[in-house]
Amino acid sequence: MYKLNEIVPVQLAPENSSPEKIKPLTTKLALRIKKENGSEVLIYNSINNYILQAVLKELFTDAL
Q: What is the pLDDT of residue 10?
A: 78
Nearest 5°: CA angle at 41, between 40 and 46?
155
pLDDT band at 9 (very low <50, low <70, confident <90, very high): confident
pLDDT tens, position by position, 16-33: 655 566 666 788 899 898
pLDDT tens, position by position, 26-52: 888 998 988 888 888 899 988 889 999
Domain ranges (residues) in the chain: 29-63
The answer to whether 59 touches 33, Cβ cutoff 8 Å, is yes
The model's pTM = 0.52
The answer to whether 41 touches 55, Cβ cutoff 8 Å, is yes
